[in-house]
Amino acid sequence: MRVVFLGPPGAGKGTQAKRLADARGWAHLSTGDMLRAAMKAGTPTGLEVKAIVERGDLVPDGVVDALIRERLTELGGDAGYILDGYPRKLSQAKALSVVLAELKTPLDAAVYIDVADEVLVKRIADRAAKEGRKDDTEETVRNRLHVYQEDTAPLVAHYGAQGLLRKIDGDRPIEDVSSDVSNSLGLNGGAA
């Protein structure tokens, strides 16, 4: 199965994607992890990405599109995977569609984890304190939520129009959200 996880920053996409990928033996393709690895390595791209992330802006499409194309090609057509944090814009969704058409591997579903903004701000502040993530200040979080509403929220309608969208209430315990994600994908095994 090939699935995209959508939702605002802090909604739990990464947690849910990892749980489901681990339970099913699928690849968990987190653009955030890929980009953080580049920043940590201090590569020229990583340094460029770090400056962008610290402003609370999104990394340019070309950088992320290339990372995804490379990874999906490596995985091959039969692999199950979850894309976590990509696509973030309609232009990226279109680029993804081109890659998937070339690979003859269409998406099976788009899981949208919905959580209210104020809950997200608190979650991210708590995560920042726990993990020492300096890029998660309240100001940058609010900027990310604004950017999300402008750029990423339209993907909900995009995948909904294709009949791929599965909407999940993400403001509940992790296990309940996992169960709903699995059930929405027809994986009837309950919790992921």
Residues that are catalytic: 13, 88, 127, 133, 144
Alpha carbons 140 and 20: distance in angstroms, whole number: 29
Question: Would you call 76 exposed, middle or buried from its count of C-beta atoms within 10 A (0-12, 13-18, 19+)?
Answer: exposed
In this structure, are residues 22 and 82 in contact, taking their beta carbons and an 8 Å threshold? no
CB-based contacts of 36, cutoff 8 Å, min separation 6 = none
Alpha carbons 100 and 105: distance in angstroms, whole number: 5
